[in-house]
Amino acid sequence: MDRDLNTEAQAADGACCGVSSCCGSNEQALDPAKTVEQAKSDAGCGCLNAEESLPVAVIGAGPVGLAAAAQLAERDLDFVLLEAGDQVGASISEWAHVRLFSPWRYDTDPAGRRLLEATGWAVPDLDRLPTGRDLIESYLRPLAALPQIASRLRLGVGVEAITRNGYDRLRSSGRDDVPFLLRLSTGEELRARAVIDASGTWTKPNVLGAAGLPAYGEAGAADRITHALPDVLGADRKRFAGKHTLVVGAGHSAATTLLALAELTQDAPDTRITWAIRGASAARTYGGGDADQLPARGALGARVRDLVETGRITLVSGFFTHTLKPTADGVEVISRDPAGTEQTLVVDEIVGATGFRPDHTIASELRLQLDPLLGTTPALAPLIDPNQHSCGTVPPHGVDELTHPENGYYAIGVKSYGRAPTFLLATGYEQARSVVAALAGDWDAARNVELELPETGVCSSNNLAPAGTPAGLATGISGGLLAQPLVLTEASTSTGGCCG
């Protein structure tokens, strides 16, 4: 099924740029060897612009991708929204059981709200903490169902590669004058005037190995390893009940799973929990407590600390996962720190809550400039370096900080943060607004970036979640929420702010 979507669209519409006589020459106008001005002249059509007559391609129909779509729809810019999953918010659906630690006021995009409110959409209680399922059902699906977005949305269509039409990465002359070419999983090809990549990082979890490399035996022990945010109290209950589980990682995802496992011990008292971190202290995970401007996020770390101090969770610090060895009793996990000192644990199950990383493979023929530390743009890297910033200390940023040498390509959402775990949904929404304003030529709006993020209370709402509800952070886990999952009995939720 090797066909060109743009050519089919022209045939269906019977015209391009409103004048049918232009269309016969549109293939000539898009000849990659010609500049836009040459193409216009050869086509004999003053209205034809080989770039502007094409859509903007948005990759990923999570919260930030849909925010970009809403911004494009408001500005009446043509676009196509491509989602590899079978539903909008496909990554979020894998942690739908988790409650965000950020309330609804931080979890929806202004343009999306405006489009929905025009249809009589009922605005959620802004102080309520939604679950991932709530986010999908009450916001993402209604937004995607709006005619101005639904008509441009394609589900089950992945992007396998992005290049310039007729240009590999080496060719320079006239590069900016030809459209992007996206090769799709369906065998189709799509040309676009610009690309907004909001595909997230959920499908690229980090390995367990402490030095960024897989631990020895990690692949062979895959049946014992679950990645971030399993549904401990629901679909995955049997896997963990009465077992000894090792949670590896020091972020909000780890905290969420630890709380869920602690909740599980009430019904399955034989359940054992060990928590392994590389650092000497878990203070960063415990967070800012009452000083956190998101009360649910602050309560998340405080509850984990209480469980450690009362012995319900066994904390092992200075643990550098090096080797995994399946045994008759489970799996032997061996730590070897930089000095060569070893520690050994034998457990039944492992939850790898070690974060995620971006996959830039699809853009390998584009000219990206990536910071060697984080894998984000060099202009953004110093603003989000986790060694310097917590979620609430990241300054506002927009199109200027997201620009690559490849003119017209932008990665937004959690993917824009590379390996930094400090992403917030609200950040992704502002990125989408700024980038779309730039694509519309409204540079004043694009550069007028304003964003207030809730401080963590750690520089390094009395919102209550229903008893037994896993909570989490809503950050980039799936594309830029403001939380990530955790299990809380009464005080807070874990998904809502940073990388989840």
pLDDT in tens, 11-28: 444 333 322 223 333 333
- Region 97-108: what's the mean pLDDT? 90
Phi and psi at residue 54, to the nearest 5°: -100, 160
CA distances from 419 to 22, 215, 274, 458, 460 (A): 46, 19, 25, 20, 17
pLDDT in tens, 316-355: 999 999 999 999 889 999 999 999 999 999 999 999 999 9
Does an H or E element contain 181, and which? strand 180-184
- Region 412-434: what's the mean pLDDT? 93
pTM of the model: 0.81
pLDDT score at 423: 85
pLDDT score at 22: 35
Lowest-pLDDT choice from 198-202, 301-305, 393-397: 393-397
Q: Write out the two tokens for 460.
A: 């390094």
Q: Write out the two tokens for 358.
A: 């971006």
Q: Residue 68 in contact with residue 52, Cβ under 8 Å? A: no
Do 222-354 and 56-203+357-447 have the same topology in CATH?
yes
Q: Residue 215 in contact with residue 239, Cβ under 8 Å? A: no
Residues contacting residue 178 through CB under 8 Å, at least 6 positions apart: 30, 32, 50, 164, 165, 166, 167
What does the alpha-carbon distance between residue 451 and residue 272 come to, in Å, rounded to a whole number? 42
Tokens 């853009």, residue located: 363
pLDDT score at 286: 80
Give the mean pLDDT of the chain: 82
Domain residue ranges of the chain, discontinuous segments joined by +: 5-43, 56-203+357-447, 222-354
pLDDT score at 314: 97
What's the pLDDT band for 299 if we cut at 50, 70, 90? Answer: confident
Q: Taking 80 as the threshold, does the pLDDT of residue 245 lie above it?
A: yes
Phi and psi at residue 195, to the nearest 5°: -130, 125
Residues contacting residue 364 through CB under 8 Å, at least 6 positions apart: 161, 169
What does the alpha-carbon distance between residue 462 and residue 467 come to, in Å, rounded to a whole number? 15
DSSP 484: E
Does an H or E element contain 346, and which? strand 342-347
Instruction: Identify the CA nearest to 80 among candidates 99, 64, 97, 61.
Output: 61
- Region 412-436: what's the mean pLDDT? 93
SS3 39: helix
* Runs of H (alpha helix) within 196-236: none
Q: Write out the two tokens for 151.
A: 């008509």
What does the alpha-carbon distance between residue 383 and residue 475 come to, in Å, rounded to a whole number? 17
Does an H or E element contain 160, and which? strand 159-164
Lowest-pLDDT choice from 177-181, 263-267, 363-367, 451-455: 451-455
What's the pLDDT band for 454 if we cut at 50, 70, 90? Answer: low
What's the pLDDT band for 248 if we cut at 50, 70, 90? Answer: very high
Strand-pair partners of 19: 16
**Strand ranges, E, within 214-262:** 225-227, 244-248
pLDDT score at 277: 95
CATH placement of domain 56-203+357-447: 3.50.50.60
pLDDT in tens, 265-291: 999 999 999 999 999 888 777 865 555
Handedness of CA 255, 260, 261, 262 (dihedral sign): positive
SS3 208: coil
Q: Write out the two tokens for 332.
A: 């032997």
Instruction: Annotate 383-401 with b (16+ C-beta within 10 A) or e (fewer).
Output: bbbbeebbbbbbebbbbeb
* Runs of H (alpha helix) within 361-441: 381-384, 399-402, 425-439
pLDDT in tens, 33-85: 444 344 434 433 333 345 568 999 999 999 999 999 999 999 999 999 999 99
Strand-pair partners of 159: 184
Superfamily of chain region 222-354: FAD/NAD(P)-binding domain (3.50.50.60)
What's the pLDDT band for 488 if we cut at 50, 70, 90? Answer: very low
Provide the greatest CA pair distance for the chain.
79
pLDDT in tens, 139-184: 999 999 999 999 999 999 999 999 999 999 999 999 999 999 999 9
Residues contacting residue 256 through CB under 8 Å, at least 6 positions apart: 98, 229, 300, 470, 471, 472, 473, 484, 485, 486, 487, 494, 495
pLDDT in tens, 380-401: 999 998 877 655 567 889 999 9
SS3 135: helix
Does an H or E element contain 398, and which? none
Instruction: Identify the CA nearest to 387 among candidates 369, 371, 373.
Output: 373
pLDDT score at 297: 65
Q: Concatenated DSSP letters for 438-470?
A: HHTT-HHHHH---------S-------PPTTEE
